[in-house]
Every structure is written in structure tokens, then in C-alpha cells.
Structure 1
Amino acid sequence: MNAVAINNMTLEEKLATMEQIWDDLCQHQNVQSPDWHGDVLQIREANRQAGHGQPMDWQDAKKAIRQRTQ
């Protein structure tokens, strides 16, 4: 796929493609997250414990993203 093909995709097609890529990446259990991911997770957990935002189910999060982008 090239940049022209991506530019011609609808937002829904782009999100579906990203989800397919993510699902494929998740199949490879030896993929290591970069160190900064841990830092971000620590900050988010500290914010959550302080009462700033709550975790959301992934299916609900996808629905919310789709609703905001329509």
C-alpha cells in the first residue's frame, strides 16, 4: 500500500486497517515495547489513582472513537 492509496481511504477504512495491523502485531509475542511506554503507563496509573479518568473497555473505546470521527 502506498501513500496515495492511504490518502484515498475513508476514515473508517483507515481505522479498520490500523486495527488489522495492530491485531497482526499482537500475534508476535516477542515484540518489546520501548522504555518510554512504561513511563507513560506509570503517569496514567498515577492520574487514575488520583481520580483523573478511569479505564475503559477496549470495545467501548473503539465505539467512542468511531462516534467522534463520524
Structure 2
Amino acid sequence: MQIELPLDQMTLSDKLEVMETLWQSLSREPCHLPSPEWHRDVLLERKKLADDQKLEFLDWDTAFKKLKDELREDKDL
């Protein structure tokens, strides 16, 4: 199935909402695709940063709201 979205007509906010909908769908279904090796390297580096308390963690709803607010601010410029 091929799905075409009017990406050139969508705002960044619209695109993020589509991504959120896709992510919610994907997270409900177990994915059986293997992760590439570089994912492991990135995760190990992030674990080290977390262990060293050099990261800020946000829950998804807060992070999503923060992104939307930042996009609104950029749009107002």
C-alpha cells in the first residue's frame, strides 16, 4: 500500500502530529526488525551520560508539548 501525504502543504506541527500517530501505532505492535549496531553504541553512550547525571529526562507528553511550544515560538518570529 502506498500512502501519499501532502507534505509540502503540511505545517511542521501537522507533521509532528502524524509522527505521533505513527509512533503510537508502532508502539502497540511489537517490531521484529533488528536494530543496527550503531544503535547499541548510541545507547551505551547515553547510558554513560545518564549514569554521570549529565542528561535531562522528560516524559513524552512534556517533551511533545515543549516541542510544540518551541515550534509556535519559531512560527511567530
What TM-score do the two structures reach when normalised by structure 1?
A: 0.79
1:41 matches 2:43:
yes
Instruction: For CA contacts below 8 A with separation 6 or more, give which structure has more relative contact order.
Output: 2
Q: Describe how 1:1-70 pairs up with structure 2 within 5 A.
A: 1-2=4-5, 5-32=6-33, 33-70=35-72
List alignment gaps of at least 5 residues for structure 1. none
For the residues of structure 2 that align with 1:35 and 1:43, how far apart are their CA atoms? 13
Q: Which runs of 4+ in 1 moved over 4 A?
A: none
Q: CA RMSD in A?
A: 1.6
Change in 2 beyond 3 A, CA 1:34/1:23: farther
Equivalent residue letter for 1:49: D
Listed one character per residue, the Cα deviations across residues 8-35 of structure 1 (whole Å, up to 9, x for unaligned) are 0011110000111111111221333333
Point out the structure with max Rg over C-alpha. 2
Where do 5+ consecutive residues of structure 2 fail to align? Answer: 73-77
